[in-house]
Structures are given as C-alpha cells and as structure tokens.
Amino acid sequence: MSDIAIDARPAAQAPFDLKALRAEFPILAREVHGKPLVYLDNAATSQTPSRVIDALSDYYARYNANIHRGLHTLADEATAAFEGTRARVQAFLNAEDSRQIVFTRGTTEAINLVAQSWGRQNLGPGDEVLISMLEHHSNIVPWQLLASDLGFVIKVIPVDERGALDLRAYRELLSERTKLVAVNHVSNALGTINPVKELSRLAHQQGALILVDGAQAAPHQAIDVQDLDADFYAFSGHKVYGPTGVGALYGKRALLDAMPPWQGGGEMIRTVSFEPSGTTFAETPHKFEAGTPAIAEVIALGEALAWVDGVGVEAIGQWESVLLEHATRQVCAIDGLKVIGTAPHKAGVLSFVVEGAHAQDIGLLIDQLGVAIRTGHHCAQPLLHHFGVEATCRASFAAYNTLEEVDTFVAALHRVIKMVR
Ligand code: PMP
C-alpha cells in the first residue's frame, strides 16, 4: 500500500476527546480477519456505547417486569425507566409534550402506523400523497400498500443530477389534492439533507400534512419538530447509538388524538367487552402501543440519547462533515470512481461506483481488510435506477470514526480496485 499517496490531513480535530469516546465502544476494539475493525456502515446501524449495553443488562439483572399495570416495586421501577425515555425523546425532538411520543419498533413501523391509522381515516380516491425520489423503501411501500386499497395516487418529487430535491417540481406537484407529503430528512443512500422546514411550509400552505422520516437525521443534527412544523417525525434507536427493535414516532397532539388505533391488544385499551362497541381505548400515546413493548430496548434508547446529548449532536455532525470531506476528497482522485450524490447539503454518507468493479466484489474484498462498508441498493432501488446503477458502495460515518480510519479505508479501496480490475 506504500504506493498510495494520502492527502494531507485537514487541520480539523474532533470537537470532543475522540480517543476517550472510542473507548466507550467495546466493539471498536475487535479485529476482523486479523485486522482492526474499521466500521463505516453507520447509516445501516451505529455501534452502541457500554452505557447502552449496560442499561440493557441492568434491566434484566435488576428490575425485569412488565410495565404500567404492576403494583410491585419492580414494575414501578421498570415503568418509571420506560416512561423516562419518553420524556428523553420528547426533549431530543423538542416536542411540546411527552404524550406526543409513541414507541415503535423503528422508523419503518412508525411510518406504517401513520399509514394504517391516519392514512386509512383520511385518504381516498382523488387524493395524492407526495413522496420523493430519495425515499427509503420504508417510506414508499407502506403508501403503495395503502394506495391499492384506498385508491389514492402517489406522486414522486424528482431530484436533480446531484441528488438534491427539485423544489420547483415540488411546488408544481403540490395541489389541493395533496393530503400528505412524506419525505426523509436525510437520504440514507446519498446523504442529501432535505430542506424539511421549507417543504413543511409549502405543504401546509396547500393544507397538506408532512411526515418526516428522520432515521438518518436524528444521529447527525439537532431535531426540532416544532421549528420544522412536522406533523409526524420518525426515527430508529439503532441508528442513534441505541439498540435494535425500538424507535419512536412524534405526532402533533390533535392528529394523534383523532387517529384510531392500528393494532389491538393489551396496553392499548381502557375497557374491553364482547360487544365491540363496548371496547374503549387508552389515551394517546398508549392507544398506539398494543402488547408488551420492547421495555429493555426503550430504556436503553433513553441511555443512548443521553449519551448523544452528552457528546452534543451538533458536535457529532460537525465531526462527520470533516470525515466526509476528507474521504470524498481522496476517493474522487481514484481513477474511474464516481460519487453518486453530491448535493450541496450532505450528511456523512459517501456513495460511489467504480468503473470496471462490481460494488459487491469491492464490499467483500474490503471486508477482508477489516473495513465494513455497505454495498447494494440501500433500500432505495428507484433512486439508484434513476442514477442508472443497480448498486453502490457506501461508506457512512459516526462520531467515533477517525481520520486514520478514513485513510485506511481509502488505502484498502485502492488495493481492492487493483485486485478486481
Ligand atoms: N428510512 C431511512 C432513511 C433509513 O435509512 C432507514 C434504515 N436504513 C429506514 C427508514 C428504516 O429504518 P428501520 O429499519 O430502523 O425501521
């Protein structure tokens, strides 16, 4: 690898103690194929610090109990910790009230909840739902499933050649038929940051609601649902240094109150009778949380958000921008490599294709050198088709990544490309 010239380092340093921060993540100490792990698949799932892992085991070791209905100490403690996360999520999103936070399995389930509950009640023939070309399948397929039942139309906001939303086209697509705009805040495939506040303002001008898929934004920037004037906002725990299987949906109070339950079972009822009309439902948000939730994961999500708050989400985003710039500058110098997604506002995602080399081969071979990147369609097939590719390689950054890791990745990429060409 000595034949590879590495660019001079940018002067920037992490705005936190990077060495100490890395030490909080046990997994970063492991090796893969005899090489130190360089984990650059953070847009798929970020790693978890010890305090999150400890929160999970502490729950099972000390106060494992079902929540809300128990009268014993363990149940009280579990309920308090569980509801404590709801307050933490409220603060994280700057929601007005913790009752606006519904726990879900993640972003996907949160979007399906809105589709099945709000959508079934409010959409029908003649209506339109606007999504964008940048959407993850999670924000496409729930609407398609519903559209085939209810007969509304889905329209797609296009992107320009850099992967930024075409705002002129958006304005033209909006009409009195538009009932909902469902867009991501940050694209997982390209890293594009969407101007959600402006999208929201324009949607509301037309009397439409806006649902924001914040799966990729929550780990990288401060979220203020009131400032964005988002009607619904969704994110996943496992992308914000938390556990899998948990996430949250924010909704405006009046909307949530007017929406029917979407799943039935325990926890979401007030009274149940064999006469269907005799069954009544719990208040928001509990009416949307049927069954025993992922208690340990919700509690650990609270710990993850506390960790993010401690480091500062803005500092994290700032550092990821340094890493992204350092990586982009170097990979752009590689012969035949093309970056897909060069929007002016981007989060820490670097998607690229290499002439004469399959993304899959690059992914497999670079893994042999200890570097974890993602290859494939990133659950955004329509977007990749738009750019004329089936798959890209994607490196995505998190708080704990270092400039040295970026250099290792670039050197490994050079080596792998030489092997496959
Ligand atoms: N939307 C975006 C933009 C994503 O990146 C992802 C995860 N890759 C999702 C939605 C789905 O998240 P989850 O699988 O956690 O539900």
- Residue ending a domain, choose from 259, 284, 310: 310
CA dihedral 216→234→111→199, nearest 10 degrees, is -80
Per-residue pLDDT of 378-415, as tens digits, reads 999 999 999 999 999 999 999 999 999 999 999 999 99
- Is the same domain home to 269 and 327? no
- Residue ending a domain, choose from 282, 310, 338: 310
88 lines ligand 1 (CB under 6 A): no
Q: Which atom from ligand 1 is nearest to the alpha carbon of 186?
A: 3
pLDDT at 9 over 80: no
- Is the same domain home to 154 and 275? yes
- Using a pLDDT cut of 70, give the percent of the chain over it: 97
**Sign of the alpha-carbon torsion through 330, 194, 142, 247:** positive
* Cα 236 to ligand 1 centroid, rounded to whole Å: 7
- Is the same domain home to 281 and 400? no
Per-residue pLDDT of 264-300, as tens digits, reads 999 899 999 999 889 999 999 999 999 999 999 999 9
Residue to mutate (ligand 1; options 140, 192, 236; most atoms within 8 A of CB): 236
- Using a pLDDT cut of 90, give the percent of the chain over it: 95
Residue to mutate (ligand 1; options 111, 190, 216, 223; most atoms within 8 A of CB): 216
| 8 Å CB contact between 136 and 185 | no
45 lines ligand 1 (CB under 6 A): no
- The answer to whether 379 is a known catalytic residue is yes
**Buried/exposed 340-356: b ≥16 CB within 10 Å, e otherwise:** bbbbeebbbbbbbbbee
Q: Which residue range is the domain that position 85 belongs to?
A: 52-310
- Residue ending a domain, choose from 260, 284, 310: 310
Going across the sheet that includes 337-339, the strands are: 337-339, 349-354, 392-396, 374-376
Any domain includes 123:
yes
- Is the same domain home to 192 and 118? yes
**Buried/exposed 138-170: b ≥16 CB within 10 Å, e otherwise:** bbbbbbeebbeeeebeebbbebeeebbbeeebb
Any domain includes 38:
no
Q: What is residue 3's predicted lDDT score, i.e. its pLDDT?
A: 38
- Is the same domain home to 147 and 294? yes
Could you say which of 324, 366, 379, 398 is catalytic? 379
375 lines ligand 1 (CB under 6 A): no
Any domain includes 3:
no
Any domain includes 37:
no
Lowest mean pLDDT among 86-90, 108-112, 240-244, 270-274: 270-274
Q: What is residue 11's predicted lDDT score, i.e. its pLDDT?
A: 54
Per-residue pLDDT of 134-152, as tens digits, reads 999 999 999 999 999 999 9
Mean pLDDT over 124-138 rounds to 98
- Is the same domain home to 132 and 200? yes
Output the average pLDDT for the chain.
96
Q: What is residue 367's predicted lDDT score, i.e. its pLDDT?
A: 98
pLDDT at 1 over 70: no
- Is the same domain home to 341 and 306? no
- Find, among 380, 376, 371, the residue nearest to 401 by Cα: 371
Residues 6+ apart with CB under 8 A from 364: none
223 lines ligand 1 (CB under 6 A): no
Q: What is residue 6's predicted lDDT score, i.e. its pLDDT?
A: 45
pLDDT at 71 over 90: no
- Is the same domain home to 237 and 102? yes
Per-residue pLDDT of 326-385, as tens digits, reads 999 999 999 999 999 999 999 999 999 999 999 999 999 999 999 999 999 999 999 999
CATH code, domain with 370: 3.90.1150.10
- Is the same domain home to 388 and 280? no
Mean pLDDT over 199-214 rounds to 98
Q: What is residue 10's predicted lDDT score, i.e. its pLDDT?
A: 52
Any domain includes 219:
yes
pLDDT at 4 over 60: no
Mean pLDDT over 11-29 rounds to 94
pLDDT at 211 over 60: yes
Any domain includes 4:
no
Any domain includes 250:
yes
Q: How many domains does the chain have?
A: 2
CATH code, domain with 154: 3.40.640.10
Distance CA 342, CA 231 (A): 29
- Is the same domain home to 152 and 300? yes
Mean pLDDT over 312-329 rounds to 98
Any domain includes 138:
yes
- Is the same domain home to 289 and 329? no
Distance CA 59, CA 55 (A): 6
- Is the same domain home to 25 and 63? no
